[in-house]
Amino acid sequence: MSSFAPLSKGDGSNDAAQYTKFDAADAEFFKGIGTIPFKPDAGPTETLVYKHYNAKEVVRGKTMEEWLRFSVCFWHTFRGTGADPFGFPTLVRPWDDGSNTMENAKRRLRAGFEFFTKLGVKYWTFHDRDIAPEGETLAETNKNLDEITDLALELQKKTGVKLLWATCNLFAHPRYMNGAASNPDAHILAYAGAQVKKGLEIAKKLGAENFVFWGGREGYHTILNTNVLTELTNMANFFRMAADYKKKIGFTGTLLIEPKPKEPTKHQYDYDAMTVIGFLKHFKLENEFKLNIEPNHTTLAGHGYEHDIVMASAFGLLGSVDSNTGSPDLGWDTDQFPMDVKNATLVMKTIIEQNGLQPGGLNFDCKVRRESTALADMFISHIGAMDTFARGLRNAAKILEEGVMTKHVKKYIMDNGNPTACSGQQEHCEAMLNYYV
Ligand code: XUL
Ligand code: CO
C-alpha cells in the first residue's frame, strides 16, 4: 500500500478518458487474455496455460479445486505499485489513475473480478483499506466501505467468486505506529476496536469464510519503552472482544491469527506458530482462533519452509495458508510466488493428512517483482504457483498412497525403540522424497 501514484506514461495519454473508458459496463481490463485453459502437453514457453492444475480432476476423493482452494489477494495484485524503499512505482495499470477516489476503487474492484474469473480462482482476500479509501472521519470511511462492499457483493454473485477472508489494516496509518491492539493509548485501542467491528460486519455481509488478524505493529522496537506483559494482555483482551462480537452478529467465519517474527517491528509478538499457540492457550483463546500460516514469515523466524504449517496442524490449529515464499538468500519478506515443487509437496502432505484446509485455503499473499511490469505477468505468476501446488498435491497423494515414507517413520520406531545410538537416516528420507518430486 503506497501513496505513490502510478507512473505517468509521459506521452500525454494519462488523461481522464484513459481511465473512464474502464467505467463502461462492458469494459474489458485484460484484453487479449482469455480464460486460462488446462493444457497438459504445453511446452516450456507456454506460460499462460495450466500444465498441471486441472480444477475438476479428482485426487484422493476430492477435486484439485477442493484441495487447493486458491485465492488471489487484493493488496499486492491490485494495490501493489512496485515501489520499494529505494525506488518509485514501476507497475502501470491502465485502469488505475492513482487517486484515492471511489471511482478508482470501483474500477480496481471490477478489474479484480475479471482477473479472478479469467484465472479460474474461486476465492479472494482483502484488507478493508485495500478496497475502499479511508475518509476524514470513521463515519466517512465506513460509508465508503458500505458502498464498495455493495459492489463487491454484486460482483461475487455475478461471478461465483467467494471471499476466503477479510482483514483490517491496523498497521499502515500513522495512528498505529505504536501498535493497535497492544497500543498503550486507549483512544487508539478503541479506534482499532471500531475498525475491527466494522471489518467483521463487512466480512459477514460478503460471506467471508474466515477473518484474519496480522499484528504488524504489535511488538516492539526497544524494550526500554515497552511493558510486554501489559501489551500482550491488552492484545488478548482485544482478541476476546473480537470473538465475542463475531458471535453477537452471527458471523460464522473462522478467526485466524497470522504469525510473523519481525518486519515492520523489530520483534513481533506473534513470532511464529508455536508462539501464537502458546499465547492462545495461555489466554484461553484456543477455541476461538486458528492460525493463518505464511511460509515466508516462517523462514524469517529461522525455520524451514513447512515448519509452521506442520506445527499448527499438529495442534489442530492450521486454518489457512498465505501461500508464498521468500528468497532463501535474503532476510526479508519478499512475498514471492511459490515455485518450489518440493516445498509445495511437503505442505500438501500436511494438508492431505488433516483432510484439507476448508474453510481456509491457499491464498497467494505474493507480489510480482517490480521489474515484472506486463499485465500478463499478473497471470503468469499465479499460474506458475498454482501449477506448483497442483504438482505438490499429486506428489503428496502418491507419497501417502504408497505409504513407503510414512511406514518408514513407524517402522523406525518399532525397530529402534531402545535408546541406543542408531541412524536417523535423514539422507535416506531425503532420497525417498526426491523420488516423488
Ligand atoms: C504481511 C502480511 C499481511 C497479512 C494480512 O507480511 O502477510 O499481508 O497477510 O494483513
Ligand atoms: Co500474509
Tell me what pLDDT residue 421 has: 80
Which ligand is nearest to the Cα of residue 1, counting in written order? 1
Contact 212 CB / ligand 1 (< 6 Å)? yes
What pLDDT, in 10s, does the model give residues 5-29? 445 544 445 578 899 999 998 999 9
Q: Say how many Å lie between the CA of residue 298 and the centre of ligand 1.
A: 13
Which ligand is nearest to the Cα of residue 216, counting in written order? 1
Grid cell at residue 160:
461465483
* Residue 87, beta-bridge partner list: 84
With helix as H, strand as E and coil as C, how does the chain read? CCCCCCCCCCCCCCCHHHHHHHHCCCCCCCCCCCCCCECCCCCCCCCCCECCCCCCCEECCEEHHHHHCEEEEHHHHHHCCCCECCECCCCCCCCCCCCCCHHHHHHHHHHHHHHHHHHCCCEEEEEHHHHCCCCCCHHHHHHHHHHHHHHHHHHHHHHCCEEEEEECCCCCCHHHCCCCCCCCCHHHHHHHHHHHHHHHHHHHHCCCCEEEECCCCCEECCHHHCCHHHHHHHHHHHHHHHHHHHHHHCCCCEEEECCCCCCCCCEECCCCHHHHHHHHHHCCCCCCEEEEECHHHHHHCCCCCCHHHHHHHHCCCEEEEECCECCCCCCCCCCECCCCHHHHHHHHHHHHHCCCCCCCCEEECCCCCCCCCCHHHHHHHHHHHHHHHHHHHHHHHHHHHHCHHHHHHHHHHHHCCCCCCCCCCHHHHHHHHHHHC
Known catalytic residues are 127
What pLDDT, in 10s, does the model give residues 87-97? 999 999 999 99
Could you tell me how far CA 65 lies from the centroid of its own chain?
A: 17
Contact 305 CB / ligand 1 (< 6 Å)? no
d(CA 29, CA 35): 13
d(CA 292, CA 255): 9
The mean of the pLDDT values for the chain is: 95
Grid cell at residue 149:
462492499
Q: Given pLDDT bands bounded at 50, 70 and 90, which one contains residue 413?
A: low
What pLDDT, in 10s, does the model give residues 294-323? 999 999 999 999 999 999 999 999 999 999
- Which position has the higher pLDDT, 217 or 429? 217
Using CA positions, which residue lies closest to atom 8 of ligand 1?
A: 365
Mutate which of 126, 167, 171, 270 for ligand 1 pocket (most atoms within 8 A of beta carbon): 167
**Above 60 in pLDDT, residue 32?**
yes
Q: Say how many Å lie between the CA of residue 214 and the centre of ligand 1.
A: 6
Contact 308 CB / ligand 1 (< 6 Å)? no
**Above 80 in pLDDT, residue 193?**
yes
Q: Is 374 exposed, middle or buried (0-12, 13-18, 19+ CB in 10 A)?
A: exposed
Tell me what pLDDT residue 213 has: 98
Using CA positions, which residue lies closest to atom 2 of ligand 1?
A: 214
Q: Say how many Å lie between the CA of residue 218 and the centre of ligand 2.
A: 15
**Above 70 in pLDDT, residue 258?**
yes
Mean per-residue pLDDT, 408-433 = 80
Grid cell at residue 117:
474469473
Mutate which of 322, 334, 335 for ligand 1 pocket (most atoms within 8 A of beta carbon): 322
What pLDDT, in 10s, does the model give residues 36-51? 999 999 999 999 999 9
**Above 80 in pLDDT, residue 417?**
no
Q: Say how many Å lie between the CA of residue 301 and the centre of ligand 1.
A: 15
Q: From the alpha carbon of 169, which atom of ligand 1 is closest? A: 10
Letter for the amino acid at 32? G
Tell me what pLDDT residue 308 has: 98
Which ligand is nearest to the Cα of residue 199, counting in written order? 1
Q: Is 144 exposed, middle or buried (0-12, 13-18, 19+ CB in 10 A)?
A: buried
Which of the residue ranges 258-262, 374-378, 423-427 would you say has the lowest mean pLDDT? Answer: 423-427
Residue with C-alpha cell 484439507?
356
Closest by CA to 367, choosing from 63, 74, 17, is 74
Tell me what pLDDT residue 87 has: 97
Phi-psi sector, 160: left (phi>0), alpha (psi -120 to 50), beta: left
Tell me what pLDDT residue 411 has: 67
What pLDDT, in 10s, does the model give residues 110-142? 999 999 999 999 999 999 999 999 999 999 999
Could you tell me how far CA 365 lies from the centroid of its own chain?
A: 4
Which ligand is nearest to the Cα of residue 322, counting in written order? 2
- Which residues, other chains included, contact 190 with Cβ-Cβ below 8 Å and sequence gap of 6+? none
Q: To the nearest 10°, the Cα dihedral for 13, 17, 19, 20? A: 180
Could you tell me how far CA 331 lies from the centroid of its own chain?
A: 19
Q: Say how many Å lie between the CA of residue 235 and the centre of ligand 2.
A: 19
Q: In Å, how far are 41, 178, 331, 365, 391 from 385, measured between CA atoms? A: 18, 35, 22, 11, 10
Contact 333 CB / ligand 1 (< 6 Å)? yes
d(CA 297, CA 161): 27
Q: Say how many Å lie between the CA of residue 260 and the centre of ligand 1.
A: 9
Q: Given pLDDT bands bounded at 50, 70 and 90, which one contains residue 412?
A: low
Letter for the amino acid at 26? D
Cβ-contact 243, 181 below 8 angstroms: no
